Structure 1
Amino acid sequence: MNYRKLISDHFSNMPTHKSSDKSGAIVALLAGLAIGGVLGVLFAPESGRKIRGRISDKAMNAADTVKEGFNSAKNNVKNKAQEISQEFENFKSETKSDVKNAADKANEKIQNA
């Protein structure tokens, strides 16, 4: 049996929608990491103290990575909020100017009538 053809036919018939929801991939990644960690501990030839130290180091690295990602997201949101606030202020001042000009023109027409 030609497995390559079977696999390529199977994947070519799959729907190709691109979802923006990445939660399934994140859950799968975390599950894979957990399973890999457990298997690594079970089959490790090192002592418990060394393994616990490595696990602790990796947990600290993971925590640092999460903190960096959170701070990056927080900064992105803050920058976007400032950008939107500035755009709103510009819109508000342009609108005030347009309304004032329209009122001035209306007053001129009323005075000249």
Structure 2
Amino acid sequence: MKKFISIPGHTCPVSRTVEIVGDKWTSLILRDLLLQGPRRFQDFIESLVGISPNILSNRLKKLQEYEIIESQLYSQHPPRNDYRLTERGKDLGVIIGGMRDWGNKHTKS
């Protein structure tokens, strides 16, 4: 694992973190992995109502590049992966948990 993720042009740590995990779909992917453990692509499609396969694929690739998640091949034909959090990804649990707590306190469905 790389020690630091380089985010050029962002001197603020909050800005750098938002650049990595600040969009809706990335946060929800992380939520699913934190709550349910390893997930398959189809699991995300089913749980993330409204996400397109292209957007999901893009977010998963980006999270892998940042070493927040890793994939493991579970089928050769056709090739299929499941996705799991790395230690770096697990460290984001406090952020996602904080968002959940804030939402419980200040929002309703």
TM over 0.5: no
Q: TM-score, normalised by structure 1?
A: 0.26
Larger Rg: 1
By relative contact order (CA 8 Å, sep 6+), the higher-ranking structure is: 2
- Which one has the bigger strand percentage? 2
